[in-house]
Amino acid sequence: MALVVNTNIASMNAQRSLAANTSDMKTAMERLSTGKKINSAADDAAGFAIAETMTAQVRGLNMAAKNASDALGLLKVIENATNDVTDMLQRVRELAVQAKSNTNSQGDIDRLQQEADALFKEISRVSKDTTYNNVAYLGAGATLDLNIQVGYTDGDVITLQTYNIAATELGSDTAKLATAAPITAVTGVAKVDQIAVGTVGSYTGNTVVSDGTTSITIDHNTPPADAAAIITSITGDANYAAMKFTVAASGGGIEVTWKDTGANPGTLTYTQSGGGSSVSNTTAGVDAVAADPNNATYLQIKSSDALDTLTKAIDQVAKYKAQWGAGQNRLGYTISNLMNVVEFTSAARSRIQDADFAVEAANLAKAQVLQQTGTAMLAQANAAPQLALQLLK
């Protein structure tokens, strides 16, 4: 090989090898310090993308498991509350059996009724005051649907139902444990009324305004899907802002609030027609406050159908509890399944993303040795051109 001075090929080769060994050593040290084989997309572009997708899945499933656990806690709270309601209903039924015996005087029956009324009030209070996360699920309308997100994609939900267990909601179709007191007039309070709307068909109707300020008639040849469709028709009318009432959803119906608290300013009529029949609901604006559940007419335990009504109320609550118990079992299995998926998805991600310490430790040792030998060889290569000086002596 020629002896040259201007271009030291041996030195350049040693520098290139030393740079490669230094890069390998830095990579091994980074992986050992982070515990990850993929620390940037440049390390493994495809693996990085797959790992990120799996991370999204794992984190979503972990949160879904938390959602399911929260729902499980909710069902336990409301079930335990209904245990007390069941005990109170059983006690009232005992009182009713006792009251029906002619061995009791009227005074005895009055005192039995007094205890029953107190228990009915407590049932309504439990319904109203039993809350979970500040929501009274046992007193929020007749039925409340709860969608629990138990997956990491849209639509992965479990639907649960809670029910109103106030005394006014329990009993038979013809008799309830309590009947709320009628709405009473109160001066200066906004007029409020309700329009009940069935959930039927699809909305294809139209809105007719018969008076721009006080009266509106909604005529649908095809019944609307729900109250929201009717509300959309009303609020979308050009004269809505000038009308003397506002409308809003209330449960499955429409709540009408009159802006004028004086005399009845007008009416709102919802007409549902089709198939040769027509049903109309017309509000009559009244100065009112909501009925007080504690100011109600309660089931008379000596009445002819008292035991039947109480038995059906007990069965009604038992059905709710059975449904909630089944929901708890379902959620328990859901949580178990979610944790299994999280475990095996995490294992798959680990095989892509996590560093094998045995391999990386060996790579580090190899890179360190090669760096030391490469440094020594670079020194030798840099010293080689000095041989040219021997030829000049």
Selected residue with higher pLDDT from 234 and 260: 234
The segment with the largest mean pLDDT, out of 31-45, 172-186, 218-232, is: 31-45
* pLDDT computed for residue 198 by the predictor: 46
23 band by pLDDT with thresholds 50, 70 and 90: confident
| Structural domain includes residue 363 | no
* Interval 107-118: pLDDT, tens: 999 999 999 999
Q: Which of 46-55, 229-238, 341-350 has the lowest mean pLDDT?
A: 229-238
What is the C-alpha to C-alpha distance for residues 24 and 378, in angstroms, rounded to an integer?
Answer: 18
203 band by pLDDT with thresholds 50, 70 and 90: very low
- Same domain for 138 and 268, yes or no, is no
| Structural domain includes residue 217 | yes
Residue with the two structure tokens 């000086």: 389
In the predicted structure, residue 266 carries a pLDDT above the cut 80: no
* pLDDT computed for residue 345 by the predictor: 92
**Contact in structure between 119 and 88 (CB atoms under 8 Å):** yes
Give me the phi and psi of 123, to 5 degrees please: -60, -45
| Structural domain includes residue 329 | yes
Q: Which of 228, 215, 331 is nearest to 283 (CA)?
A: 215
Integer-rounded Cα Rg, in Å, for the chain is: 39
In the predicted structure, residue 282 carries a pLDDT above the cut 50: no
- Same domain for 242 and 168, yes or no, is no
Mean pLDDT of 154-177: 89
Selected residue with higher pLDDT from 130 and 256: 130
Q: How many domains does the chain have?
A: 2
Mean pLDDT of the chain: 78
> Residue 110 corresponds to which amino acid?
D
- Same domain for 158 and 83, yes or no, is yes
* pLDDT computed for residue 220 by the predictor: 53
User: How many C-alpha atoms does 111 have within 13 Å on its Cβ side?
Assistant: 5
- Distances from the Cα of 17 to the Cαs of 23, 329, 359, 360, 375, in angstroms? 10, 64, 21, 20, 10
- Same domain for 173 and 201, yes or no, is no
| Structural domain includes residue 137 | yes
CATH code for the domain of 138: 1.20.1330.10
> Residue 71 corresponds to which amino acid?
A
* Domain with 115 in it: 57-180+294-340
Region of 369 on the Ramachandran plot (φ > 0 left; ψ -120 to 50 alpha; else beta) = alpha
What is the total residue count of the chain?
393
In the predicted structure, residue 312 carries a pLDDT above the cut 90: yes
- Same domain for 69 and 135, yes or no, is yes
* pLDDT computed for residue 325 by the predictor: 92
In the predicted structure, residue 376 carries a pLDDT above the cut 90: no
218 band by pLDDT with thresholds 50, 70 and 90: low
Mean pLDDT of 351-368: 86
* pLDDT computed for residue 189 by the predictor: 46
- Same domain for 66 and 129, yes or no, is yes
| Structural domain includes residue 369 | no
In the predicted structure, residue 213 carries a pLDDT above the cut 60: no
| Structural domain includes residue 50 | no
In the predicted structure, residue 374 carries a pLDDT above the cut 90: no
- Same domain for 176 and 195, yes or no, is no
Mention every residue, 6+ apart, whose C-beta is less than 8 A from residue 190: 257, 258, 259, 261
* pLDDT computed for residue 216 by the predictor: 54
| Structural domain includes residue 128 | yes
Give me the phi and psi of 389, to 5 degrees please: -65, -30
- Same domain for 174 and 299, yes or no, is yes
DSSP 363-388: HHHHHHHHHHHHHHHHHHHHHGGGGG
Mean pLDDT of 217-244: 66
- Same domain for 63 and 170, yes or no, is yes
* Interval 147-165: pLDDT, tens: 999 998 898 999 999 998 9
- Same domain for 172 and 205, yes or no, is no
**Contact in structure between 135 and 125 (CB atoms under 8 Å):** no
- Same domain for 271 and 298, yes or no, is no
In the predicted structure, residue 89 carries a pLDDT above the cut 60: yes
Helix residue ranges per DSSP H, the chain:
9-34, 45-99, 106-129, 227-235, 306-353, 357-383
- Same domain for 144 and 246, yes or no, is no
Here the tokens at position 119 are 């228990």
* pLDDT computed for residue 276 by the predictor: 38
What is the C-alpha to C-alpha distance for residues 75 and 324, in angstroms, rounded to an integer?
Answer: 6
| Structural domain includes residue 381 | no
Q: Which of 255, 308, 311 is nearest to 285 (CA)?
A: 255
Using DSSP's 3-state secondary structure scheme, residue 246 falls into strand
In the predicted structure, residue 207 carries a pLDDT above the cut 50: no
In the predicted structure, residue 275 carries a pLDDT above the cut 60: no
* pLDDT computed for residue 244 by the predictor: 67
Burial group, residue 101, by CB count within 10 angstroms (0-12, 13-18, 19+): exposed
Region of 287 on the Ramachandran plot (φ > 0 left; ψ -120 to 50 alpha; else beta) = beta
* pLDDT computed for residue 146 by the predictor: 87
